[in-house]
Structure 1
Amino acid sequence: MWRDLVLAVGLIGICAGGLALFLKTAEVAGDRRSGVPAAVLVAVAALGVLAVGLVVTRRGRAPVRNRASARPAGLPDDPAPAPDVPDVGAEALDHAAVDADGFEHAVAALCARDGCTAVEVVGGAGDLGADVVAVTLDGRRVVLQCKHYAEDNRVGSQDLQRFGGTCFTIHEADVAVVVTTSSFTAPAAEYAATCGIICVDGEALAAWTDQLTPAPWDALTPDPTAPVA
């Protein structure tokens, strides 16, 4: 900006100096021929206007740098936001101190603690039975339904049948799990066993939380040390 201003002032000064020199020379020489001084004056003035116009045009065409063009070459693009990783602290795992929505997050935290990736709470209206989804270390997709019930409110066969109708066909689960703070009725447990759904009642949930037992999906992993029948 300052360089352009100095250049414009310099050009105007040159034009003014040339004009003054010409007038002085014409006065000394006594050249009074009509039309010549006027023509020269017009030419000099036109050159001055042209010079200033060129500076202004050059300045107006200066490229405008946006944030992307001003970024130094060689630097990587802004990193993508980090995925939302569930908290796996003791407070996050305390399913006894939460409501139904908090229970889903507590179960998600258990999945993350035990090595699952892509852990996501998806429960809500229209969830079709899936409250938490995750992927185990060996690549299996786990779909969990969470039942935050009082101890005297047992999970019945109707609950299992609704989940059984969507967990494999709709949610494409490799491992389907129903986790509850209460217990399961005998028909519900029987249906789950028939469909291959893992049931985790309140007692098993406490053992899982305290790491006294392996994660539910590990129950489906064959023990390589077990004798072959």
Structure 2
Amino acid sequence: MGISERVVIVPAYNEARTIGKVVSQLQPFAKVIVVNDCSADQTAELARAAGAEVVTHTSNKGYEGSLNSGFERAAEKGFLYALTFDADGQHEASIVNSFFEPLESNRCDLVCGVRPHYARFAELVIGQYFNLFFKVKDPLCGMKSYKLESYHRIGFFDSKRLVGAELLLRCLKMGDRVIQVPVPIHEREDKPRFGSTWKANIKILKALIKAISI
């Protein structure tokens, strides 16, 4: 398979510090779509200069809303496989092929990354839930890849409360086959996307409640 059938979707909010490097590192492996979530800095300009296609929100839609916009654009462009990837430089671009090749060889329908440790207590809790019911250890890892045909079956998603795991959950509930891949994580230098520890834990626990209700 050629990289023309692959796309990496990168949600980005005020990531001018890292987005250019992230896009440049991804270019050898796939096309790149950056979803600029109404950033106040030069995220969009730097992503475009590095070679990405940029989708820009005129109002902030959050991480899940940005993912949805990215998948919509990927579907419009006719890509077959999509990988989600964080804009903050924490992910390692060198393992991108590990997320595309199992899909291309039809060994699975989605690939979910597994980080070496959970960043917060609430992530451990939601991880235990997903592992118990779906055998998926780290549903909140930002690196996940999908066959776009799975997205076409589900269509629009935008719960805003599942912090990047709604498409994963809906695919799992439809019986999609999953492979899990270890993902090394580089430490983020600035503030985490989910804010302070207690706010992040509350947000993630709310996501668990939403997951149970779906």
Q: TM-score range by the shorter chain?
A: under 0.3
TM-score scaled by length of structure 2: 0.26
Higher helix share: 1
Which has the bigger relative contact order, CA under 8 A and spacing at least 6?
2
Name the TM-score, length of structure 1 as normaliser.
0.25
Larger radius of gyration: 1
